[in-house]
Amino acid sequence: MAAPPQLRALLLAVNTLLRKRRYHAALAMVKGFRNGAVLQEKLWAILQATYTHSRNLACFVFTYKGLCALQSRVQGKTYQFHSFLAAFIGGMLVFGDNNNINSQISMYLLSRVLFALCRLGVEKGYIPEPKRDLFPVFTAVVWGLVLWLFEYHRPTLQPSLQSSMTYLYDDSNVWHDISDFLIYNKSRPSK
C-alpha cells in the first residue's frame, strides 16, 4: 500500500532538509540526543551484565564475610587490616578476570575510593578544607578529559566506553534520510 501523496511530499521535504550541509551541525545535535535516549537495542546486554554483576557481588560478599570471620576467629578479635586483606583476596578471586563487567565495577569503585580518600584526607587534616563546592570543577575536568581522549586518543579508552561514545558522538553525525535520523541509528540494508 503506497503512502498518501501528502505524506510522501512531507517525507521528501524532510529528507531534502536532512541532506543540506548548512543544517548538519544542528541536526547532528538532535540525532546525538536521540542516540542518547535510545536503549532498546542494548536491553539484552544490560540484562546479561546485570546478572553477571549481581552474581559476582554475591560471590564477593560471601568470600569477604567468610575471610573476615576466619581472621577474627584465628586472631581472637577483629582488626582494621582484616577487612582490607579479606577484600583483597576476594577481589582477586572474584573480580580478578579482566573482562568488561569487572572492569566497569573496578572503575566505579576507584572513583568512589578516590572521593573517600580525599574526604578522609580533609578529615585527618592532610588536605585543607575546600572553601566551596568543588564538584562543578571536578565534573567539568572529567568531561573535558574524556572527550579530549575520545577525540584524540581513542584507543586509550576502555572499549565499552569507546563504543558508547562512538554511538553518541560519531554516529550522530551521519544520516541519509528520516529513517536513520530518527528511527534507526544507521541505514537498514536493502532487501
Give pLDDT, residue 191: 57
Q: What is the mean pLDDT of residues 24-47?
A: 78
Between 31 and 75, the higher pLDDT residue:
75
Q: What is the mean pLDDT of residues 162-188?
A: 78
Give pLDDT, residue 170: 82
- Quick: pLDDT tens for 120-151: 999 999 999 999 999 999 999 999 999 999 99
* 52-91 burial code (b ≥16 CB/10 A, e <16): eeeebeeebeebbeebbeebeeeeeeeeeebeeebeeebb
Which residue's entry shows cell 584524540? 152
Give the helix, strand, coil percentages of the chain, each rounded to 5. Answer: 80, 0, 20
Between CA 95 and CA 102, with CA 101 as vertex, the angle to 5 degrees is 25
Q: Is the pLDDT of residue 94 over 80?
A: yes
Between 164 and 71, the higher pLDDT residue:
71
- The CB density around residue 94, as the number of other CB atoms within 10 Å, is 20
User: Range with the lowest mean pLDDT among 8-17, 66-75, 88-97?
Assistant: 8-17
Measure the CA–CA gap between 184 and 120, rounded to whole angstroms. Answer: 48
Between 180 and 73, the higher pLDDT residue:
73
Distances 37 to 34, 55, 153, 185 between C-alpha atoms, Å: 5, 28, 26, 11
Q: What is the mean pLDDT of residues 33-37?
A: 76
The grid cell for 105 is 565495577
Average pLDDT of every residue of the chain:
88
Between 7 and 122, the higher pLDDT residue:
122
Measure the CA–CA gap between 127 and 156, rounded to whole angstroms. Answer: 31
Q: What is the mean pLDDT of residues 27-41?
A: 76
